[in-house]
Amino acid sequence: MMSMKTGFRPFVPAAVAAAVLAACGGGDGEQVPLNAKPAYLGAIAETAYDGSSNDLLTAGLGATGMAAALPPAYADPLKPTAAELRRTAIHTNYRAMLDMTAAGGYGLLYGPNVDAQGKVTAGEGKVAGTEYIAFADDGTGRKNVTLMVQVPASFDPRKPCMITATTSGSRGVYGGISTGEWGLKRGCAVAYSDKGTGGAPHDLQNDTVPLIDGTRTTATAAGKDAAFNAGLTASELAAFNKATPDRFAFKHAHSGQNAEKDWGTTTLQAVEFGYYVLNQRHGETNAAGQRLKTLTPRNTIVIASSISNGGGAAIAAAEQDTQGLISGVAVSEPALELPANPGVTVRRGSTEVAVTGKTLVDFTTYANLYQACASLAPSVSASPFAAAFAAGFASAALPIAPNRCAALKTAGLLSASTTAAQAEEALQKLRAYGWEPESNDLHASLAAFEVAPAVAVTFANSLSRSSVKDHLCGFSYAATATTGAVVPLAAAALPGMFATGNGVPPSGGINLVNNLGKLGPARDFLSFSDAGVADWNTAGALCLRNLVTGTDAAARKLQAGVDETRRNGNLRGKPAVIVHGRADALLPVSHTSRPYAALNKKIEGAASRLSYVEVANAQHFDSFIGLPTVLPGYDTRYVPLHVYLNHALDAVYEHLANGKALPASQVVRTVPRGGTPGSAPAITAVNVPPLATVPAAANAIAIAAGAISIPD
């Protein structure tokens, strides 16, 4: 029988596979094993959806409803039902990943109404099937990673397939739904993991927690069934609330688990859950009527997929896949933690990139220092949101960003004397630390949306296993007034946060707070330094940076956590395609996909079957392209990277199912839509050319053992 590591695996029907295994058992005692529920799985909730009133992909909303800016309202905003929360979670998370405008490609290049072959249909794209949800835990109730398997009604046990869709960012389990869409349309089961993150917090003031379905109850009533509990004793909680009232703890930041170290494991658990479900439904039965494990890696195609942090989890799962559960990998813009000394080089054009392969917490704490200042650089004044950023963060009344520039000079990190010159210097520092020149135009919008501080605080807490009561670097999470002062959260905000939160505040009305502000705790960018200056909490940013570069106990704790998350580059010979946008300013390509491809070739040599696709005019947040009134200029400059995730999945599936060659590593020369910022002409297929099986020489990426060369 063909091995998982074989490049082309013709489909072997499950019944035939079972017969062969049974026959083999006659000679050496091997028997087809019973289908057993994995020991780490808790109670499994099973719900069937008819594909009309409700469904797996759109929660009954269809392509039209998903295009609407808002989902249907809750009957009772203070107590939404589990079904209402699921519907809103699917609507919110799908839209958070994609450009949902028709001009940007929704309904034409992708979307529920676009079928598996890329054909635009007149239907709503609802997918009938059954959804299974359970916790994966070690018996303590402290992990409670949410796993979910969706099995479309079109699943064919004679030609079984499954993909993973581990959640991106720090979202809940529906955070991977836009990836899962590809599998559902193909008739594949989809295995999801929230990887130990989620949007619903522990409300510490009122001691309420989320359950697996997003509804809330008291921590006492939930017990071990809480999706997340910050784990404070009664006395600790009382002291915490007295000192810092109205605060919230989030699972990614405050679980104390260093969840990232287990992202590969929980993704593999999702696959195992998928196999269990599929065999319970479609496995052969023995004489006693018991289900057997007849759907196995020998006859089932499994593609590890997702985007961003979820893409990194898929890579981690492939590296850790000692059982051969995964057939291939197709990911987009993955977060990849390289070894401390990977021994690889990255070259773009004729120039070697000097700084590469830094970890996410490293380059994000660096961005957190410099990005707000760099966004004032005259050279990027025409970039998306730059003018609005200057108006909001560099006004005469509240010159927060210029004050950050000045504070960096005071700290000895900048040398120029004027704000404009300091901003250009800060921008150059980002370039020198591994950002592409194409990322320059993205810094202002990312700074305005507080992306770097949000991610830096979350990952610093998680990696160092800090408790919410530690207030790492003086940060906490709370609702704030327009002045920045901490206030109680609006009553209607918390009940739906499972569905609307992204798990990385600012989110859902909860903001990042500096507890150490001179004038008292305040929203991070509105807080005042010890000198009485609103400098975007430079002291907090320096503290976070010291955790990466320092040698004190707190720094060593974080650094030890980072070491637990590093990848090794060994994909075990699995066919794989990584796609990444060249302009990505959140996960720069020279710190992630580029050096990983070189490392993989160094480790696997001739056995490597990884193709790396770098997409010109693409960046990390497709959804930002779909905000032309808020971020005009994204629409004229950038194309949706999601198109190329779908191409990667197509390519890996066709390779595994039919032996079609994978596309070689390449740069895809997309064509920006152009036109007037905010009203770019509608996208067409010309803007997003397909992957070439063999690219033109000028587009070919060369990967050797420990070295990658990218054409300009």
Q: What is the CA radius of gyration of the chain?
A: 25
Distance in angstroms (rounded) separating the CA atoms of residues 251 and 388: 33
Burial of residue 15 (number of CB atoms within 10 Å: 0-12, 13-18, 19+): middle
For the chain, give the number of residues.
Answer: 712
Q: Which of 62, 54, 338, 312 is nearest to 164 (CA)?
A: 312
Angle at 228 between CA 227 and CA 232, to 5 degrees: 150
Among the listed residues 193, 308, 383, 467, the single catalytic one is: 308
**How far is residue 79 CA from its own chain's centroid?**
28
Decide the pairing of beta strands 216-218 and 208-210.
Answer: antiparallel
Amino acid at 445: S
Distance in angstroms (rounded) separating the CA atoms of residues 404 and 140: 44
Torsion angle of the four alpha carbons 649, 166, 460, 240, in this order, in degrees rounded to the nearest 10: 160
Burial of residue 551 (number of CB atoms within 10 Å: 0-12, 13-18, 19+): exposed
Distance in angstroms (rounded) separating the CA atoms of residues 537 and 526: 8
**How far is residue 234 CA from its own chain's centroid?**
34
Q: Which of 446, 445, 442, 455 is nearest to 505 (CA)?
A: 455
Distance in angstroms (rounded) separating the CA atoms of residues 451 and 567: 24
**DSSP result, 192-227:** EE-TT--SPPEETTTTEEE-TTS-EEEHHHHGGG-S
- For 327, phi then psi, to 5°, come to -90, -35
Q: Residue 308 catalytic?
A: yes
Spell out the residues 6+ positions from residue 537 whose beta carbon is closer than 8 angstroms to its own: 453, 514, 517, 524, 525, 527, 529
Amino acid at 577: V
Residues forming the active site:
308
